[in-house]
A and B are shown apart, each in its own frame.
Chain A
């Protein structure tokens, strides 16, 4: 109790936190008084040693980690709980969504998914001029950034070229906001070169959108999908109860034996343990908290339990491969050597096989299996590289980079991302980026984005922060919750010194107190 009192006091008196942030942290402390969902002592030990990491979801899950409301359905039916009738014009639709967004739960307290916004708003845009749409959307965008100040808040556009998608890109370039994060769904058949060029020019200004391979991603889902938070692809009208990630570096460090032993013993043992944690947390949310019976979103069909699954994530593949190689007497590194790359693919295929062969409760969206996700890292990852990425600053040339990572992109129905780096000269030649995007998708990549040297924005892993916000946060706190993660990441991961800019993060904030 004394410990709790102390932690609460720390939050209350921390001048770097605003009122809402304090409230969020206090809730986390309150949640931590509950016993962790029932898992083996072995799994608890792995959790406490961060061999298995629950990404600070909290010890008593009372809301799903990723919720992707079926906004289209909500707009059609209205929302009784919020006393919202179906909108009849553009202004009403924006107002409707603005209200609904603020009621969507997540780990950070802000919705990770705001919908495929062009598709949602197009039916209301018929009568409006381009300029009118632009003006209304610009105010909407300002609302999103100011009232949902979290870089994990994510919105989608595409794949079709349309007036709203174009206005969104124009507004992004003008406002230069961190929020919302943005993905363009790209389809060779449906997305015009003109829209893709607009997107690339926007990347030059604000380091977003990410570009998602629409056909490849859509084929992994029964219905519509969304790209949310840090490159998680999940079903609309559902989402993921939880995301638990396995630290491949740590399990390799403690592994005794050769590569074959690792793949046949150590790896399956920890994968099953991770799946145990996923199962226990899911059951707690569904059976103990009864979230899907009691929340208005579920009661009104805006989300459905049958559209949910859970996510199995991992990180530190590069370190895992390099260590196994080294122990085998070979100084080959992941991203630079074919044998090392092949070992990486083999490990991922094995994990995928294990994940797919374990039936989990309440995971109907993926036929009882967890979605497989290459987790893009958080601020505490000092020694581990995000997901299956090549370590920061160690990336080979762009073709070798794509050749090394593209073969495993197909495994990740839950999403994966890689980041390519360019210097500023590319700004004079956006067509060059179009060439690379098209080539990368031809090679089977699922999703990626670009960072430009000297950009005002830094992509920490999946999310963005402004350079200036990082500086300000250190001095006086920031309106954005994500600036704290970023500040930690910058301190921990040498981000300012690298060719690359990334290392994702999320929920550490609350757990610090």
Chain B
């Protein structure tokens, strides 16, 4: 086995909402977008061992060793108040772990009898494409795991060669689109979206795009023009691609973005109807 390791922010061993069947979901730390409504903003950054979290922890459950770049977490005293996550200036977390391909394989082996497959998510999982390639290969050549399906949940913000490096091992990609216009995209995420739009087209062309999700944010991406462009994009994708309209929800978003408003029922209906009128089969969640 290789020495490669990935930063894993969490593993959910049974998820019924991350693709078909019961799935194990692995969340990778670090993201190359910074969405205003991110529900897991502590998965955006990487830890720089500044130690602020340890200082503020009300139960002194964290010890940060700057020199050796190590964090000790006392599970017994931690009350999961999440103060450390809220205070982190890097939008990171003291809890993610370095794991090897071997570590992840043994996690999957524990639950293999109960799952249809695995889903990798983030953060932005494609930032660790090199690790994924090894990980997916290990699954597909493993006699007890080769029947598992592999789904990738991504923001799409990577170049084509990254997709090429893993596409043969992956059963499907689920991509989020935050906005069509690059300017609006930049407002919502801090970055432009050329790579994302290219990724959507490329994965569609390769027959591997499973889902395209559009998150509706009032006053940002719900204008007639924006929805029209999203509709055009969706219309040109294969009918096998599941198109989903997601209502932005404020649950878990950072304090500085609480002024965002969730779409009203009317706003959702308006966007839904506009997309449906373009002849697109749409799921709203």
Contact = CB atoms under 8 A, between A and B. Distances in A.
A428 B20 CA distance: 9
Contacts of A428: 16-17
Contact of B116 (A402, A425, A431): A431
B22 A436 contact: yes
A398 B23 CA distance: 13
B110 interface: yes
A96 to B, nearest CB: 43
A434 interface: yes
A439 interface: yes
13 contacts: A399-B14, A399-B111, A399-B114, A402-B114, A422-B16, A425-B17, A429-B16, A429-B20, A432-B20, A432-B23, A435-B116, A439-B114, A440-B114
Contacts of B114: 398-399, 402, 435-436, 438-440
A429 to B, nearest CB: 5
A139 interface: no
Contacts of B116: 431-432, 435
A426 B20 CA distance: 10
Contact of B21 (A422, A434, A440): A434
A40 B265 CA distance: 70
Interface string A408-428: 000000000000001001101
A432 B110 CA distance: 17
Interface in B106-136: 110-111, 113-116
A397 interface: yes
A431 B20 CA distance: 6
Given A399-B110, A435-B22, A436-B22, A429 B115 contact: no
A442 interface: yes
A425 B17 CA distance: 7
B17 A443 contact: no
A438 B16 contact: no
A425 B113 CA distance: 22
A443 B113 contact: yes
B247 interface: no
Closest 9 CB pairs of A and B: A439-B114, A435-B22, A432-B16, A432-B22, A439-B113, A431-B21, A426-B16, A429-B16, A442-B113
Contacts of B21: 429, 431-432, 434-435
Nearest to B114: A439
A425 B16 contact: yes
B13 interface: yes
B145 to A, nearest CB: 14
A402 B113 CA distance: 12
Interface in B75-124: 110-111, 113-116
A438 B113 contact: yes
Contacts of A426: 16
Interface in B11-36: 13-14, 16-17, 20-23
Interface string A432-472: 11111011101100000000000000000000000000000
Contacts of B13: 397, 399
Contacts of A431: 20-22, 116
Nearest to A402: B114
A222 B77 CA distance: 56
A391 B50 CA distance: 44
A398 B16 CA distance: 12
A432 B12 CA distance: 14
Nearest to B113: A439
A283 B136 CA distance: 65
Nearest to A429: B16
B113 A397 contact: no
Interface in B31-76: none
A398 B14 contact: yes
A421 to B, nearest CB: 12
A435 B16 CA distance: 10
Contacts of A439: 22, 111, 113-115
Contacts of B17: 425, 428-429
A397 B20 contact: no
B207 to A, nearest CB: 21
Given A435-B21, A435-B116, 17 more contacts: A397-B13, A397-B14, A399-B13, A399-B111, A402-B114, A425-B16, A428-B16, A428-B17, A429-B17, A429-B20, A431-B20, A432-B23, A433-B22, A435-B114, A436-B14, A439-B111, A439-B114
Contacts of A399: 13-14, 110-111, 114
A402 B22 CA distance: 15
Q: Which of B17, B20, B111, B114 has the most CB of A within 10 A?
A: B114
A236 to B, nearest CB: 31
Q: Which of A398, A433, A435 has the most CB of B within 10 A?
A: A435
A425 B110 CA distance: 24
Nearest to B283: A428
A428 B110 CA distance: 25
Interface string B219-248: 000000000000000000000000000000
A47 B23 CA distance: 49
Contacts of A432: 16, 20-23, 116
Nearest to A400: B13
Nearest to B117: A435
Contacts of A425: 16-17
Interface string A370-400: 0000000000000000000000000001110
B262 to A, nearest CB: 19
A422 B20 CA distance: 16
Contacts of B16: 422, 425-426, 428-429, 432
A436 B20 CA distance: 13
A399 B114 CA distance: 8
A222 B105 CA distance: 43
Q: Which of A398, A425, A432, A439 has the most CB of B within 10 A?
A: A432
A435 B115 contact: yes
A496 to B, nearest CB: 24
Nearest to A427: B16
